[in-house]
Amino acid sequence: MKLLLSWLEEFIDTGNRPVEDIARDLESLGHEVESITHLPLDNVVIGEITALRKHPNADRLHIAEVNIGNRTIQLIFGQYFPVKVGDRLPVAVATCQLPTGLVVESRTIRGVQSDGMLVADGELGRPLTTEGILRFEATNKPGTPVADVIGWRETIFDLSLTPNRGDVLSLCGVARELAAKWQQSRRTRDLPVFHVSDNHPSLLATIQDRDLCPRYSARLIANIAIHHAPTVIAGRLTMLGHGQYNSVVDVTNYVMEEFGVPLHAFDAEKLTLPLVIRRAKTGETIQLLDSQSYDLEDSMLVIADQTGPVALAGIMGGLKTAITNQTKTIILEAAYFEPTSIRRTRTKLKIVSDAAYRFERGTDPAALEIASNRAADLISRGLSAQVGQLHMTGGALDSPTIPFDPTRIDAYLGTHFGRKKIAQLLKRFEFQLTDQTISVPSWRHDVAIWQDLAEEVARLEGYDQLPQKALAVWQMPPTPDDSHYLAVEALKDRLVWAGWTEHIGSSFLSKKEIELFGMNEAVDLIKLANPVSEEAAYLRSTQLISLLKAIAKNPIFTDLKFFEIGTVWKPSANKFTGEQTAVSLIWCDTQPQTLPFLDQQLGTRLEKKILDKFKIRRPVMFSEVPVSFYLTRTDNHPPPVMRPPTQPIFRPPSRFQPVLRDLAILVDESVTPIDVMKTLQEIPQLIDVELFDQFSGGQLPPGKQSLAFHLLLENSDHSLTSQEIEATIKQVKDQLETTYRAKIR
Amino acid sequence: MISQKALPNGHLHPLTWTMRECVDIYRKMGFRVVQGPEIDSPDYNFDRLNFPPDHPARDMQDTLWIDEQRLMRTHNSNMQIRAMERFAPPVRFVVPGRVYRNERSDATHGVSFEYMEGFVVDRGVTMANMLANLADFGRAFFGSTTRIRFRPSYFPFVEPGLEMLVYYGGRWLEVMGAGMIHPNVIAQMKPTGQGLNPDEWSGFAFGIGVDRFMMIRYGIEDVRLSFTGDYRFLKQFPGPEENQ
């Protein structure tokens, strides 16, 4: 949820705390601040009007010469407020962006050049003045940034709220949390009390289904005119990412941001009152504001008039009764809907809306009146509108209570706060306490048991302030699973010692892949109902494809030997999952392998037809057996090595193809291949040295041996040139000649 | 002919190294491994872990479904219930294994993740015990002088819930979620067919994203690289030392 700092100030005095401190306090309460954005205001400066004249080609436009300190610019404005020579006003100088996102550019308006804009409060996004624009004293120099003079910058917090805290999805909700943290009271607003006598039928709405709609309120507002929302409302909503519609709909969004209560307005003249809040009848349909038609079911709650459904309760209004520019009278709805039914309905119909988002997380049933009054006030402001009485129907509010047992809370947390401190902490979150019980505020749908209260206590105290105490020393006795885990890890160690490299691949197969291997979808495989993509539609029944991809990925390396130990699913083996752990080996050769720790030949040769599909141009052998095959045949395995010998510093492979060169040298028999590899480690661009042949005797001089290496060269920025390759090879040869008196063969 | 001895070692995957390190730290604190199925029922994966039906908490874990009875486990918290059908408390378990989410993969997320769940059930386990245990783990993995912070958070199967952050590489990183096991979940643990009494037994649980730990440990910026089989990647990681 996005939160505007200036707007939050209307709900709580932040006492000029730095925004970073506010963010830290919100985080300590469990409300993660994903980002803090300072809106651009630096481009708005004080401009002094030095000359004025009418636009020659447009009646309503004026031209001003404006001194902005270092120079004078010309701009065009429409006269929404009086402007005279000598006035000092906020000016945006092209090219710049305002907090609302509006970009001010130089342009020609009906033949006259305009290089800036007079900035009204709405474009600044802040209600500052009654007149609608800031005016500065003559002591403020032209060119001074406005933000410096008024000491204000606009900030947007982007909060990532957990789904249990619907109560924080509003300015009022955030203010409640901060008020508790800062031990101060919230700012409340005096709203007009509407005493207008109601000459409309007393019955505006009746609830037929109290389970799904415990409370519903409606009021008539007559004699209104639809126009654009005031600039402050429009500006703030824009900054938060709301669309702009009209003065009524924008106000309902505005008040939802303030109090967390989604409101809905109907065009009263298109309704046949009274409204009925009921379940839909099977076969009913409704066209919603998104212009789509939906088939309704009897599990879904609707607002209906005497002719049929006019809104999908808590989710979206109907198109037929929507506010238009001709609307004169509205019914303003403020209601509390049961969260799970809202979620079921909107999931079924695949509708996303701000209202549903809040209702399914739980709104405050006690806030209907204040939200409705606030909206009525904003909608009727400046109009000779008649605001009708609030008609509230539905049950009384009963706040759940929890037995108050501070001893248990202390014992659970491992603290020694005592009754008094725990009571004080809970009161700050506006829980009502008696000796024996605690009643939960109407907005806190997440608190039901004493452990929830323990969290409130811990949260407000701050998790980082809580004591820490180590668990008692105790070893759980060995379990079969533990031994199994260690045995599998030990098997990996033995494979690595025998020269195999571990690969970890995807658990999924694509349709194309299963067709390639002629697998029978119905018998051999488990298919996902909602795969992320067609590439991952099936659970793998073998690790062969994963390992073939690994071979195909590395055409340049010889003697590749990969293994993978992971889960495969063979549904024919077990009805529910067919899950088993497979050990799979793949290597580039024509011959079966024996492992030093297993008295058994492994491997079958893969068909060329298959290899061709993976563009593999060399013979490949493969073996796959259940892990039990190894574990039952290798008894005295050493325990696995749980830590690596060194922590390597990882270097990402280049995007450019490496180059392979072979090199054979003649050296003393005392020189080991490992020595040679270590010697060459420091040469840049040489990323790998691999031994592929070693022999002595025969025609070689006595005491000498031949070593042959693959050298792998690579550069992270570009493909190597032949000069670079030759230079590196020369460096290798020089190094070996100097260090080992090696002869290049 | 190359003798067996002269053969260079292969390489162990960095994810395996990272998982072993996590398991090892906890085994030394008296925990044991327990494992279970990757395909599970919504009952074990959600319902008995106190995920309310039709609650937005279910959106926190986009699920891969096979059919209405079977899903790919979205976490290995399913083992809190499953393990406790086989073992009576006190227990200290870690659950290494793969979990699945229906999310597009990107540089920091695959479709499957390697996770390590851990949990303790005993008499008188407190939040203070949990905080000390998690901080000990954080310092064991990230270094003994690592700064650690806790932030309240929400997972349906714990109360209170939290996230742990460590200061590493110049910034705060979220490294694990945890919490005191919710009494509704304790009551679903049925070693003798009957649910444990939450007034008698308490515990805590935590979950570690091991892929992320691997990325942090080795400075891997794109996790997808680890699963392509690129030998230029794999061969940078050592095999285990041979203890002969």
Over residues A515-565, the pLDDT tens digits come to: 888 888 777 889 999 998 888 999 999 999 999 999 999 888 888 999 999
Q: Give the separation between CA A50 and CA A41, rounded to whole angstroms.
A: 23
User: Would you state the pLDDT for residue B244?
Assistant: 47
Residues A467, B128: C-beta atoms closer than 8 Å: yes
The CA distance from A46 to A90, in Å, is: 5
Convert the pLDDT of each residue in B110-169 to its tens digit: 778 999 999 999 999 999 999 999 999 999 999 999 999 999 999 999 999 999 999 998
Contact B239 A530 (CB under 8 A): no
- The yes-or-no verdict on residue A394 having pLDDT over 60 is yes
Record: contact A413-B161, CB cut-off 8 A:
no
Reported as a single tens digit per residue, the pLDDT across A264-323 is 999 999 999 899 999 999 999 999 999 999 999 999 999 999 999 999 999 999 999 999
B149 and A464: CB-CB below 8 Å? yes
* Alpha-carbon A652 to chain mean position: 27
Of A162, A466, A695, the CB nearest to B153: A162
What gap in Å lies between CA A268 and CA A266, rounded to an integer? 6
Which H or E run includes B84? helix B78-86
A448: which 2 tokens?
């039901």
Kindly tell me the burial class for residue A620, based on how many C-beta atoms sit within 10 Å of its own C-beta (0-12, 13-18, 19 or more): buried
Our CA-based measurement puts residue A264 at a distance from the nearest CA of chain B, in whole angstroms, of: 23
Q: Comparing C-alpha atoms, which of A176, A463, A180 is closest to residue B152?
A: A463
pLDDT digits (tens, 9 = 90+) for A318-359: 999 999 999 999 999 999 999 999 999 999 999 999 999 999
Please state, in angstroms and as integers, the Cα–Cα distance from residue A706 to each residue in A70, A661, A688, A731, following that order: 80, 17, 19, 20
Chain-chain contact of B234 with A638 (C-beta, under 8 angstroms)? no
Reported as a single tens digit per residue, the pLDDT across A704-731 is: 999 988 888 888 778 888 888 888 889 8
The interface predicted TM-score (ipTM) is 0.95
Say if the Cβ atoms of B55 and A507 lie within 8 Å.
Answer: no
Partners of A687 on chain B (C-beta within 8 Å) are 232
Single-letter amino acid, residue A529: A
What's the pLDDT score for residue A534?
A: 87
Full-model pTM: 0.85
Question: Considering only alpha carbons, which residue of chain B is nearest residue A538?
Answer: B66
Distance from the Cα of A536 to chain B's closest Cα (Å) equals 9
How many residues would you count in chain B? 244
Write out the H or E segment, with its range, that includes residue A623.
strand A621-626
Q: B176 near B134, Cβ under 8 Å?
A: yes
* Phi, psi (deg, nearest 5) at residue A173: -65, -45
pLDDT recorded at residue A199? 53
Lowest mean pLDDT among A71-80, A505-514, A678-687, B174-183: A678-687
Residue A28 confidence class, pLDDT cut points 50, 70, 90: very high
Query: What is the 3-state secondary structure of A448-491?
Result: CCHHHHHHHHHHHHCHHHCCCCCCCCCCCCCCHHHHHHHHHHHH
CB contact (8 A) between residue A474 and residue B136: no
Calculate ∠ Cα A455-A457-A461, nearest 5°.
115
> What is the distance in angstroms between the Cα of A112 and the nearest Cα belonging to chain B?
50
- From the list B33, B70, B102, the residue facing A530 with the nearest CB is B102
Read off the pLDDT band of A50 (50, 70, 90).
Answer: very high
Q: Which residues of B92-123 are buried (b: 16+ CB within 10 A; e: fewer)?
A: bbbbbbbbbbbeebeeebbbbbbbbbbbbbbe
Kindly report, residue by residue over A73-87, the tens digit of the pLDDT: 999 998 777 889 999
Yes or no, beta carbons of B229 and A503 under 8 Å apart: yes
Nearest to A300 by CA among A291, A289, A311, A290: A311
Adjacency order of strands within the sheet including B39-40: B39-40, B70-72, B65-67
- Interface check for B178 against chain A (CB to CB < 8 A): the answer is no
Report the gap between the CA of B6 and the closest CA in chain A (Å).
8
Any chain A CB within 8 A of the CB of B100?
Answer: yes
* Residues B92, A451: C-beta atoms closer than 8 Å: no
Mean pLDDT of A48-62: 91
Q: What is the pLDDT of residue A744?
A: 87
Q: Is the dihedral of CA A315, A320, A321, A325 positive or negative?
A: positive
Q: Which of residues 111-130 of B touch A (CB under 8 A)?
A: 111-112, 120, 124-129
**Chain B neighbors of A508, CB-CB under 8 A:** 111
Interchain contact B14–A (C-beta under 8 A): yes
Q: Do B64 and A531 touch (CB under 8 A)?
A: yes
Pairing outcome for strands A205-207 and A275-279: parallel
Nearest-angstrom CA–CA distance, A524 and A542: 10
For residue A162, the chain B residues in CB contact (below 8 A) are: 153-154
CA distance A620 to chain B (A): 16
Provide, rounded to the nearest whole percent, the portion of chain A with pLDDT above 70. 97
Tell me, yes or no, if B6 comes closer than 8 A to chain A by beta carbon.
yes
Say yes or no: B154 contacts chain A, CB-CB below 8 A. Answer: yes
Choose the mutation target among B31, B92, B131 for the interface with A, i.e. most A CBs under 10 Å. Answer: B131
- Does B6 have pLDDT greater than 50? no
- Are B59 and A163 in contact (CB < 8 Å)? yes
Residue contact A531–B10, C-beta within 8 A: no
Question: Is A690 in Cβ contact with B153 (below 8 Å)?
Answer: no
Rounded Cα distance between A182 and A109, Å, is 51
User: Which pLDDT score, from 0 to 100, does residue B4 have?
Assistant: 37
Which tens digit of pLDDT belongs to each residue from B53-75? 888 777 777 899 999 899 999 99
Give the 3-state DSSP-derived string for A103-145, with helices as H, strands as E and coil as C: EECCEEECCEEECEEECCHHHHCCCCCCCCCCCCCCCCCCCCE
Residue A317 to residues A155, A289, A321, A467, B231: CA-CA distances in angstroms?
Answer: 32, 6, 8, 51, 58
Q: Judge whether B128 and B108 are in contact, CB under 8 Å.
A: no
Phi, psi of A231 (to 5 degrees): -60, -35
Query: Chain A within 8 Å of B34 (Cβ-Cβ)?
Result: yes
Kind and range of the H or E run holding B151: strand B148-153
> CB distance from B109 to chain A under 8 Å?
no
Q: Which residue of A has its CA nearest to B7?
A: A499
Report how far apart, in Å, the C-alpha atoms of A567 and of each of A415, A543, A580, A708 are.
44, 9, 6, 39
> Which strands, in side-by-side order, build the sheet including A308-312?
A205-207, A275-279, A301-305, A308-312, A316-317
Looking at the complex, report in whole angstroms how far the Cα of residue B241 sits from the nearest Cα belonging to chain A.
Answer: 6
- Closest CA of chain A from B33, distance in Å: 4
Whether chain A has a CB inside 8 Å of the CB on B22: the answer is no
Name the β-bridge partners of B177: B163, B207
Residue of B nearest to A672 (CA): B6
C-beta atoms of B13 and A567 within 8 A: no
Contact (CB<8Å) B56/A28: no
Query: Among partner residues A32, A500, A536, which is closest to B111 by beta-carbon distance?
Result: A536
Q: Beta partners for A489?
A: none
Position A115: which residue type?
D
Q: How close A340 comes to chain B (CA, Å)? A: 5
Say whether A547 and B229 touch across the interface (CB within 8 A).
yes
